Structure 1
Amino acid sequence: MTGDGTAGWPDGAPFDRIFVSFAVPRIPSALVDQLAPGGRALMTLGTSSPSWPGLAVITKTATGELVAELRAVEFGHRGGMGFDRLFQSADFRERITTHGGRWTQHSRLVPPADTERGMWLALDYLHPGLVRHFGAEDLAIGAPECGSWMRARPVGHRRWEVTVDGPRDIWEEIHDVAGRWRAAGSPHTYLLQMEADGAQLATTSCATLTWPLPDLPRTSGVAQ
């Protein structure tokens, strides 16, 4: 079958397993409706940034109850059609790694490790529009839409040289979310709540770290 992947295949439902091979910003309700009791669906949830994907795992119990979670993962699928995706041009990457920036200072704040993916996933939603330059030797992150960027490199024991440019202070944004993430217990997995009014939320068990999932784009991905 070919068509709108977020609409699923109603004529073939219900399904014991649903696997979506393109990223979506939120869980398509049609796919949840087509899941059989005892079934499970897997899909990449993403934002406009390609840097920090999440894996949504949705299970429908034998009684029809939905249990869903969002797991911070290293890799995910690309967005479907209609999914706007940010990227860093070669010129922007060169500025991040070589230019002097608006200010440079030394900091004893340690940036979160790459393995603390639950923090980076939360940053992606709470301070959207950021893209990681994974090819840089140092930690380098930019916001292509406004031209802001930051880089941080170690210069001694628990000392970092931090350079920031543009209207956003990305270094401050990182540590804002890192503090909130640690206060929530440093989760790598978040609960996904689907409300009766159609809203979808990612949250911790104690609701200390919560954000809404964006709407689906008007033109959705195409199934293979």
Structure 2
Amino acid sequence: MTLAAPPAASGASLWRHSAGDTSGAVAARAAMVARLEEDGALGPGPVREALRALPRQILMPQAYVRRSAPDETPPRWDLLDWARPGDRDELLERLHSGDSVAIQHDGEPILSRRAVPRRGGAMTAMSSTMGMTAGLLQLLGLRPGQRVLDVGTGAGVTAAVACFVCGDEGVVTLDIDPHVTAAARERLSVLGYRPATVTGDGTTGWAAGGPYERIFVSFAVRHVPQGLVEQLAPGGRALMTLGTSSPSWPGLAVIERQGDGSVEAQLRAVEFGHRARAGFDRLFLSAAFRAEITTAGGWTQRSRLAPPADTARGMWLALDHLYPGLVRDFGAEDLTIGAPECRSWMRVRAVGHRRWDVTTSGPRDIWAEIQDVAGRWRAAGAPDIFRIHFDADGSQRATSPNDALTWQLSPGETGDAR
């Protein structure tokens, strides 16, 4: 691991606005915060004050915007640059839209790069959607003077908020990519902050700065990294997205160390989660497979069993773990789920009062899998929150509150994000 220059004391009172924080940027930021409040994603408190103050164009003076259609290959990207006056309006709109913001292409150096179009490749670092980030930062419960470990630096937004609320002396931001940490170090310093900026594997944490009262992981893991649990201080809390190879049904792991040193953890079924790190093998439904599901024939049965509601998040979370390999097409008009590894799929369409046509194809009976888990989930009390157990042999499992529904958490790959 490599460590940045020694951190300097800072706090909310030392926040410095750059000369680049124009009236347009201030207005865009205020509008973004107002939308978050209106949507219920943000309430009064220090996170709100930090987001109102944070000049996002200082942390992200360049950002990518996709110019190609969603399924067009290779994808085409333009890099907007604050230094070019003609880009500023579009860049401000992008930074304050609430959507995720891509800041790095194929692991490139971020500082001093030319703002030229890119084709192909992948975006390897980004700032997450603001609604999710704001909600998680509020749940994290940041307070002045806390020691905070920000795992997965990205654009440095979480680190900046932690410095604003807690003071930068106890803040560590950690990323596997030296280009990401170098950019965050330089841009946070423009805001007057000197958190410890560390390059290394986020799943092992950084023991030298701990123990931490708060740990925030901004990429998905398959199970809770033990190294991060060990660095959690008594009274501390850690948050991270926990998922499988499917992006469709994430869980939020909330880990807390009690005053006596014991650890309690929950897995909460949520609508949105952080994306997986670069190199995390992920499933997806290709355009060709989606077209096949929409147009191809299959075996159709009439069912009086209703498909589980989208709001039955605990059921979908359990399905993802008990019958892995499924991906939902959320853009389809009907409930549509595919298993890309074996080309199985299912489509459910309402055809009358309490009647549905269920069309399936392939070796897996996805409808039967769904109904199996739905029945077990209801028998377990229809929970949306499960307990995470850390067993003596190092394995982890999730269970319903009444222990009627349980599954193992796969160790899989849990490396750092870009």
- What TM-score does the superposition give when structure 1 sets the normalisation length? 0.97
Structure 2: gaps spanning 5 or more residues: 1-197
Alignment partner, residue 13 of structure 1: 210
Q: Which of the numbers 348, 358, 363 marks the counterpart of 1:167?
A: 363
Query: What per-residue deviation string (whole Å, max 9, x for no partner) do you get for residues 108-153 of structure 1?
Result: 0100000000000000000000000001000000000000000001
Alignment partner, residue 221 of structure 1: 416
Q: Which of the numbers 332, 338, 352 marks the counterpart of 1:156?
A: 352
Runs of 4+ in 1 over 4 A off after TM superposition: none
Q: Is the 8 A contact 2:276 2:417 kept in 1?
A: no
Q: Is the 8 A contact 1:104 1:162 kept in 2?
A: yes
Q: Which of the numbers 196, 203, 223 marks the counterpart of 1:26?
A: 223
Deviation at 1:205, TM superposition (A): 2.1
Alignment partner, residue 109 of structure 1: 305
Alignment partner, residue 201 of structure 1: 397
Q: Which of the numbers 356, 365, 372 marks the counterpart of 1:176?
A: 372
Deviation at 1:222, TM superposition (A): 4.0
Question: Which structure has the higher relative contact order (CA within 8 Å, separation 6+)?
Answer: 1
Higher fraction of strand? 1
Q: Is the 8 A contact 1:82 1:221 kept in 2?
A: no
Q: Is the 8 A contact 1:2 1:222 kept in 2?
A: no
Secondary structure in structure 2 of the residue aligned to 1:91: helix
Alignment partner, residue 127 of structure 1: 323
Q: Is the 8 A contact 1:35 1:60 kept in 2?
A: yes
79-88 vs 103-112, which deviates more? 79-88
Return the letter of the residue paired with 1:46.
G
Alpha-carbon separation, structure 2, partners of 1:87 and 1:159? 29
Secondary structure in structure 1 of the residue aligned to 2:368: helix
Secondary structure in structure 1 of the residue aligned to 2:291: helix
Alignment partner, residue 200 of structure 2: 3
Alpha-carbon separation, structure 2, partners of 1:36 and 1:171? 44
Q: Is the 8 A contact 1:86 1:129 kept in 2?
A: yes
Alignment partner, residue 275 of structure 2: 78
Deviation at 1:82, TM superposition (A): 3.5
The Cα RMSD (Å) is: 1.0
Alignment partner, residue 143 of structure 1: 339
Deviation at 1:207, TM superposition (A): 1.3
Deviation at 1:7, TM superposition (A): 0.7
- What TM-score does the superposition give when structure 2 sets the normalisation length? 0.52
Identity value in percent: 68
Q: Is it true that 1:97 corresponds to 2:294 in the alignment?
A: yes
Deviation at 1:54, TM superposition (A): 0.0
Structure 1: gaps spanning 5 or more residues: none
